[in-house]
Structure 1
Amino acid sequence: MMKKNLYAFIIALLIVGCSSSKGSSTGDSSANSVDETYGYSEKNAIKVGGFEQGPKNERDYLNSLTGPNGEPVSFTRKGSCCQFKTANSPYGMGMLDMYRVSYQGKKDTVLLYINMYDKGKLKAPKGFIMK
């Protein structure tokens, strides 16, 4: 009887421990990041995932952003930087893409870092919203 109870307890723990949770690592389940470094730092790049579809995923993501009042966003690719290891590249390494991003009425252009190799929960960086 004791073994049966122990097995039932272990199974219950496994079920609870393996269930998925909704929301993000920041605790905010909305599409807006509360992390001030999200996208603005090479250490916290936006992960759009998919090596083969990487450039398309980057454009799709950037096209999903608006200014805080729904202003259309404009962007230009600045280049690549910041080599890192990833299992999601056939070469074992990846580079981040940098984009200059702005919207009508914004006085300055910001630089966003995008990782086209790895996947993550997509959110809008501070100062932007997602359509």
Structure 2
Amino acid sequence: MNSYAFLVEKYADDKTYGFEPQNAIKVGGAAESEGPTNERRFLNALAGPNGEELDYHRLGSCCPQPSKNSSFGQAMLDKYALYYEGSNDTLVIYINMYDSEKLMIPKGFKARNFPN
């Protein structure tokens, strides 16, 4: 990890990972006021299926999910639109900044290559 992007090397086997609210990507960081930064660090670690640079924007919050790490007992997810040059569709993923787990690359994406 650096201040720009997480190092994510494992690929998800589950096609719903990140694409369904019940299987949101858990980047954590809300307790340390790093939640939005962690979301961007995760998104910056991704590339399109052929290594294309991704563009993304936040669509808003949605889809409350149970969470012991939220003072309300539920985590509101952030919904992001992702697109890259040559893509026909905008892809939407769900990110949970209240809970954390080992991050994986969702189906249809690759790990972004960073120069050494």
With structure 2 as the length reference, what TM-score do the two structures score?
0.82
Amino acid aligned to 2:35: G
Show the counterpart of 1:79. 60
Distance 1:85 1:66 in 2: 30
Q: Aligned residue for 2:5?
A: none
Say if 2:35 is the partner of 1:54.
yes
* Runs of at least 4 residues off by over 4 Å: none
Cα distance in 1 between the residues matched to 2:82 and 2:74: 26
Local SS of the residue matching 1:102: strand
Kindly state the Cα deviation for residue 97 of structure 1 after the two structures are TM-superposed: 0.3
In structure 2, C-alpha distance between the alignment counterparts of 1:80 and 1:54, rounded to whole Å: 13
Deviation at 1:84, TM superposition (A): 2.3
Does residue 38 of the first structure (1) align with residue 17 of the second (2)? yes
Amino acid at match of 2:106: P
Residue 98 of structure 2 corresponds to residue 117 of structure 1: yes
The amino acid that maps onto 1:50 is: G
| Alignment length (residue pairs) | 102
Is the 2:58–2:79 Cα contact (8 Å) retained in structure 1? yes
The share of aligned pairs that are identical, in percent, is: 51
Report the Cα distance in structure 1 between the residues aligned to 2:14 and 2:59, rounded to whole angstroms: 23
2:71 corresponds to which of 78, 81, 90: 90
Bigger relative contact order (CA 8 A; separation at least 6):
2
- Name the residue aligned to 1:63: 44
| Greater percentage in helix | 1
**TM-superposed deviation, 1:116:** 0.5
